[in-house]
Structure 1
Amino acid sequence: MKNFFFYGTLRHVPLLEIVLGRAAADIKFTSEKLHDHAALAVAEGPFPCVVERAGAVTDGLLVEGLTDTDIARLNFYEGSFDYDLHDVVLAGGQTAQVYFPAPGAWTTTDAWDLRAWENDWAALSCFAADEVMDYFGKYTAAQVAKMFPMIRTRAAAMVNAAHSKHGAGTLHGAIDVQKIDRAYTNYFALNEYKLRHERFDGTMSQPVDRAVFVVSDAALVLPYDPVRDRVMVVEQVRMGPIARGDRSVWQFEPIAGRVDPGETPQQAAHREAAEEAGIVLQSLEPVAEVYASPGCTTEFFYIYVALADLPDKATGVAGLDSENEDIRSHLMSFDALMAMADAQQAANAPLVTAAYWLARHRDRLRLVPPKATPDIT
Structure 2
Amino acid sequence: MSAPARPVPGVDVPDERGRTGLDRVGRDLTGNPDVRVTDVEVLAAAWHVLRRTTLQVRGADGSWRPQQRETYDRGNGATVLLYDPDRRTVLLARQFRYPVYVNGHPDGILLETAAGLLDDDDAATAIRREAAEELGVQIGELEPVFEVYMSPGSVTERLHFFAAPYSAATRAGRGGGLAEEGEDIEVCELPFDTALTQVADGRIADAKTIMLLQWAALAGPFAVPRG
In which range does the TM-score fall when normalised by the shorter chain? 0.7 to 0.9
The one-letter amino acid of 2:72's match is F
Aligned AA for 1:216?
A: G
Relative to structure 2, which stretch is displaced further, 203-212 or 231-240?
203-212
1:79-98 equivalences in 2 (<5 Å)? none
| Aligned match of 1:147 | 17
Alignment partners' CA distance in 2, 1:181 and 1:248: 36
The match for 1:189 is: 49
1:240 aligns with 2:99: yes
**Rounded Cα–Cα distance in structure 1 between residues aligned with 2:221 and 2:115:** 25
Query: Contact 1:225 / 1:310 at 8 angstroms: preserved in 2?
Result: no
Query: Is the counterpart of residue 251 in structure 1 residue 115 in structure 2?
Result: no
What is the aligned partner in structure 2 of residue 291 from structure 1?
Answer: 149
Structure 1 344/172 Cα, relative in aligned 2: closer, same or farther at 3 Å?
farther
| 2:216 corresponds to | 358
SS of equivalent residue, structure 1 residue 207: strand
**1:178 and 2:38 equivalent?**
yes
Give the percent of matched residue pairs that are identical in Structure 1 and Structure 2. 26
- Count, aligned residues: 211
Q: Is the Cα contact below 8 Å between 2:137 and 2:175 reproduced in 1? A: no
TM-score, normalized by length of structure 2?
0.81
Whole-angstrom CA distance in 2 between matches of 1:282 and 1:345: 29
Equivalent position SS for 1:352: helix
The 4+ residue runs of structure 1 with deviation greater than 4 A are: 313-317, 363-366
The structure 2 residue matched to 1:225, chosen from 71, 81, 84, is: 84
Match of residue 334 from structure 1: 192
Distance (Å, rounded) in 2 between the aligned partners of 1:364 and 1:344: 21
**Which stretches in structure 1 are left out of the alignment for 5+ residues?**
1-75, 77-130, 163-170, 367-377
CA distance in 2, matches of 1:245, 1:214: 24
Helix, strand or coil for the counterpart of 1:355?
helix
More helix by share: 1
Distance 1:309 1:318 in 2: 18
Q: List alignment gaps of at least 5 residues for structure 2.
A: 1-6
The 5-angstrom pairing of residues 1-377 of structure 1 reads 135-136=11-12, 141=14, 144=15, 146-148=16-18, 151=19, 172-199=32-59, 201=60, 203-261=62-120, 263-310=121-168, 318-363=176-221
**Highest relative contact order (Cα 8 Å, sep 6+), 1 or 2?**
2
Q: Contact 2:138 / 2:172 at 8 angstroms: preserved in 1?
A: no
What amino acid does structure 2 have at the position aligned with 1:300?
Answer: R
CA distance in 1: counterparts of 2:49 and 2:183, whole angstroms = 21
Shift of 1:346: 1.7
Which amino acid in 1 is paired with 2:197? A
CA contact (8 A) 1:196 1:204 kept: no
Measured after TM superposition, the shift of residue 310 of structure 1 is 4.6
